[in-house]
Amino acid sequence: MIRSPKTPEEWDSYYDLRYIILREPWNQARGSERNEGDETAKHLAFFDNESIIGVGRLDLMPNNIGQIRFMAVSNHQQGKGVGKNLMLHMESMAKEENCNEIILHAREIALPFYEKLDYTVVEKSHLLFNEIQHYLMRKKI
């Protein structure tokens, strides 16, 4: 099931998964997985029974653009369609909010994942933690 976390425990596991997948392998501090945008963003979690095994965030930007951020799927659950399902849900959510385009900054390693979902590279963007090259991608929806 895909929905926003609700209880304090669900929010803890939502941010835990972000931390474990996107921050901990690069020795980043706890808390670095969050930012001020979390207050206003839309959050989606993929639930496997009670456990959260995938997460993603949708930011509503000016000019009917949605930005997807902090996509992460639990290590042992990758490659089973969880990420794709989360992406499709966020795209529907963005459409409901009148967005006509999605942008995101993809890690180099994840480019094929987004390309399969019809995102195209616009340009090279930032280098995270001095090593993870990102690429700005977009898709009309």
Q: Which two tokens stand for residue 92?
A: 């529907």
Q: Closest residue to ligand COA, Cβ-based? A: 83
Q: Which stretch binds ligand COA (CB under 6 A): 29-37, 81-89, 94-102, 120-128?
A: 81-89
CB 13 within 8 A of CB 7: no
The residue from 12, 25, 112, 127 that contacts ligand COA (CB under 6 A) is: 112
d(CA 117, CA 135): 15
- Our finding on whether 8 is near ligand COA (CB under 6 A) is no
The residue from 41, 61, 110, 121 that contacts ligand COA (CB under 6 A) is: 110
Q: Which residues contact 138 (CB under 8 A, 6 or more apart)?
A: 101, 102, 103, 104, 119, 120, 122
The residue from 52, 90, 106, 137 that contacts ligand COA (CB under 6 A) is: 106
Q: How far is the CB of 85 from ligand COA (least distance, A)?
A: 7
CB 138 within 8 A of CB 121: no
